[in-house]
């Protein structure tokens, strides 16, 4: 087993060189505040809080640089059924297979998530942001009854404004 050196930096690194870190089998971990992740602005109802992350670097047997990424966060998103806020907890672990060209891409195993390295350095924030976005369900919905109650209340309000049943009735009558 390779010995894992832990880098507990008081200041989190902004950018990292994955190949260099993989050579030394480095491990970094830390927190990023949700309000620093711009892509989450439209998804979150409340951007207070943090994402916890850890990144471990290594090479596989065929020389592919791997980043084992783990993220976790508590988020407040909009329920897609009743449109009220709901709290979700996300967790995601993935193995990113870093590739710089087609030859390396071909060596990636199926369980790696392909990660293209355009430049020498990776911006930590961008990587973590991408992982968080992927971990958020596409259509989050409350599992409890309150969700349906909220929806019923909203439907009632709509009915008062524009009665959808009169349209249905009309359609039905037209058919006859
Ligand atoms: Zn709901």
* Structure confidence at residue 89 (pLDDT): 96
Cα(79) to ligand 1 centroid in Å equals: 5
Residue 68's contacts (CB-CB under 8 Å, 6 or more residues apart) are 55, 56, 57, 58, 93, 94, 95, 96
Cα(47) to ligand 1 centroid in Å equals: 19
What are the domain boundaries of the chain? 5-141, 144-176
The full DSSP string for 3-67 is PPEEE--SSPPSEE-HHHHHHTTEEEEEEEEGGG-GGGTTTEEE--SEEEEEEEEEE-TTS-EEE
Q: How far apart are CA 49 and CA 122, in angstroms?
A: 24
Going by the DSSP 8-state scheme, the letter that residue 95 receives in this structure is: E
Backbone Cα Rg of the chain: 23
Output the pTM of the full model: 0.76
**Residue ranges near ligand 1 (ion) with Cβ within 5 Å:** 79, 81-82, 142, 147
* Structure confidence at residue 176 (pLDDT): 47
Cα(153) to ligand 1 centroid in Å equals: 12
Residue 98: both structure tokens together: 């870093």
Q: How far apart are CA 54 and CA 16, in angstroms?
A: 13
Cα(28) to ligand 1 centroid in Å equals: 37
Q: How far apart are CA 175 and CA 162, in angstroms?
A: 22
Asked if 94 contacts 19 with a C-beta cutoff of 8 angstroms, the reply is no
pLDDT one digit per residue (tens) for the chain, 176 residues: 455 555 555 456 689 999 999 999 999 999 999 999 999 998 999 989 999 999 999 999 999 999 999 999 999 999 999 989 999 999 999 999 999 999 999 999 999 999 999 998 999 999 999 999 999 999 999 988 778 766 666 666 666 555 556 656 666 666 54
């Amino acid at each position: 087993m390779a010995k894992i050196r832990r880098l507990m930096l008081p200041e989190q690194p902004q950018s990292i060189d994955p190949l260099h870190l993989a050579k030394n089998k480095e491990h970094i971990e830390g927190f990023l505040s949700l309000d620093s992740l711009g892509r989450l602005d439209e998804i979150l109802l409340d951007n207070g809080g943090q994402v916890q992350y850890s990144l471990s670097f290594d090479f596989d047997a065929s020389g592919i640089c791997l980043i084992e990424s783990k993220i976790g966060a508590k988020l407040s998103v909009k329920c897609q059924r009743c449109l009220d806020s709901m709290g979700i907890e996300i967790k995601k672990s993935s193995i990113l297979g870093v590739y710089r060209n087609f030859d390396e891409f071909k060596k990636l195993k199926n369980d790696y998530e392909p990660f293209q390295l355009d430049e020498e350095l990776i911006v930590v924030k961008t990587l973590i942001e991408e992982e968080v976005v992927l971990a958020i369900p596409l259509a989050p919905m409350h599992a409890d009854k309150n969700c349906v109650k909220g929806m019923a209340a909203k439907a009632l309000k709509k009915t008062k404004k524009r009665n959808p049943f009169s349209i249905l009735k009309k359609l039905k009558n037209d058919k006859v």
